[in-house]
Every structure is written in structure tokens, then in C-alpha cells.
Amino acid sequence: MDDYAQRYPTNVVDIASFLVRLSVETDLDKPLPRVVHYSASECLTKYSMCEIFGKILKLPISHIIRDSSVPADAVARPRDCHLYTEETAELVGDLGCSKFEDWWSVYLTSTQTK
């Protein structure tokens, strides 16, 4: 499992909330930036996400092999592709992104009891 590329998993519920806030709280008479990025700031790799799921579900992940090697792709890929969100934060204030583990803990716990 990839433990090299850094990702910033962003919850679709948070994105929807952001779009509502953008449309309601922003003065739309002023032009918006040409590009509006929205992204969580929490940095995780695929492997670290597996660790979190294992912890939440109380399951071992010892069978998952951590791969921290630099990929030898034909196309060079960035290790860290975090989006620039400062202009977006200026529009709506706090971006309001859920923490990965917190959101998944609630979601997985609620679905297991149904």
C-alpha cells in the first residue's frame, strides 16, 4: 500500500457545506477568484488511512505491506499535491473540514449498529 504520496482526503459532506456557505455568505457582487480550491489540510498516505480504518474497526492490518518507495512511473508525479486554499479561506473563513478519523469513526460506528 502506498505510503509515499501525500493526500488530503476531503469529505464530500464538507464540500457541500462549503458550497452552501460560499453561495450564502459571500458577496457575489464581487468577482470570485478564477480558481476556488477547497481541500482538507490533514495530510495522509493511503497506508496511514488503512491504519486509521484498522484502528476504528479494530482489525489488524499486518497483512498490508507498506510501500514507501519513490514510484518509478513513466510520468513524474508530485509527492505532495496540496491545493492552495488561502483565497478560499478569505471568502468563507474557516474551511470547516472534518478530520478523517473523526468522521469515519462516527460513520462506521453508526452503520455497524443498523
- Chain segment 31-79, per-residue pLDDT in tens: 788 888 999 999 999 999 999 999 999 999 999 999 988 877 656 677 8
Query: Would 7 be classed as within a structural domain?
Result: no
User: Domain range spanning residue 108?
Assistant: 12-71+78-112
Query: Would 5 be classed as within a structural domain?
Result: no
Query: Would 101 be classed as within a structural domain?
Result: yes
What are the CA-CA distances from residue 102 to residues 11, 18, 24, 39, 55 (Å)? 11, 19, 27, 17, 12
Pick from 99, 105, 92, 106: which is nearest to 44 by CA?
99
Query: Would 82 be classed as within a structural domain?
Result: yes
DSSP letter assigned to residue 103: H
Q: What is the pLDDT of residue 91?
A: 83
Query: Would 6 be classed as within a structural domain?
Result: no
- Long-range contacts made by residues 55-64, C-beta under 8 angstroms, separation at least 24? 55/101, 56/101, 56/104, 56/105, 56/108, 56/109, 57/108, 64/1
